Structure 1
Amino acid sequence: MKKVFMMFSLFLVMILGACNSLSNDQLIKDYVKDTHGFDIVIKSSDKNSLELGKDSYVVSPVDHQELEFTVVVNSYSAEDEPKLNYRNKHLIRDNYSTALAADTELHKLDEVIPEIKKLGFNESFNDEPRVFFSEVKDDIWGFLYSTSHLDIKSFEEKDFDRLYEVHKLIKQSGASFDLIIVSDTRELNDRGSLVLDIKKLKDVNTKEEFLLEMKKANPGITGFYENKK
């Protein structure tokens, strides 16, 4: 009898969790429509079936699915009631404005992407990100993927000139990134990566200045050339 009761209880929790998940999906869609004025698709979710903590959703506008942002539904206690911000009974937050700002900067590159591709870099690789944004620092990072291997040992001979041209194209686009992470397309453990500190490169106009800033942003370059002396 005890086992039957436990099985029934578990089944009931699963049913309630499923119902809550379905209602929350619609809640998220309604919230974004009412708050931002557009329809969304839900890309993924991390739901708490016991209704504790928070449910987190990654969503996109129906007509712009490259733009992804997060919507979080928080559980709350009585002391949180003054903070309820949707329909006077839900505590919901999202980072749409930050994601939109990052997406706007990303699309400023569209005009120069054809020239960047000629230099041996693509703006995407598989499902890896094109842009990352930090809500803590308001940082925006862009990503480029080299069609050839990146190696510090051959940096000056093979990659320096083309990265210098990439930096000039990014500056020409007017995109306001903090960093551009340039990686090749090998497996993660074998992958070569270099960082362009776009903020520091803003006033760089010569190859000598560019090399100095690249060494500052990529300690591996400095270490390699010091060991060669």
Structure 2
Amino acid sequence: MNKALHKILITGASRGIGHKMALDLKKQGHLVLGTSTSDTGKDNLLNEGIVAFKLNLNSSESIEIFLKDLNDNHSDINVLINNAGITKDNLVLRMKDEDWQDVINTNLTGTFKITRTVLKFMIKERKGRIINLTSTVAVTGNRGQANYSASKSGLEAFTKSLAKEVGSRGITVNSVSPGYIETDMTKSISDKVKKQALDQIPLGRFGSTNEISHLIKFLISDESSYITGQTIHINGGLYM
């Protein structure tokens, strides 16, 4: 698929890993569409040459408006990168119903709705790449993140099931599972917590958004065409 330029949709493209992917893929010459939950994020993407949308995956109304726009104007997307996600951490005994549901709605249900629509475009063309960003906690669990862990674990199962459904149509579906990656979020954690995390990582460092982006570029290329239904871990050995 790397002989022709792609039309790529990235959810959660205004910050962190998603932003790095959007800029790198645009630099390669692809047409990149990106979403942000805020007007500021959307405007920043537009200024960087990304076709930008405001999208809240926890809002059925927001999703409906966005999907109508895709159907009307962008029905030729052939790469989907489901990157958007939120956390609302707390111990299970203290977790509010809405904090559980908001995370599941955004990370899992919203991803399902976007994928279902874009999949129709790909099936017509009999080719496509779908990549879901998950997390190491999908397999390890994490104290205070039962909702987030469940959503990401569900997304990995969704990946495998969908890969079996659409493989015969020339569409591959994979998950990328990052560990600790240097982003604004990880930069804000305390030195104590950072040291505890680093002590668990055999390579002794956090990963970079650049390393994630390189993996994504490989997964949308022809060289990855026999890889599907897989979760690819990129975590410095935190989970093996």
Normalised-by-shorter TM-score class: under 0.3
| Higher relative contact order, chain-length normalized (CA < 8 Å, sep 6+) | 2
Tell me the TM-score normalized by structure 2: 0.25
Tell me the TM-score normalized by structure 1: 0.25
More strand by share: 1
Quick check: which has more Rg, 1 or 2?
1
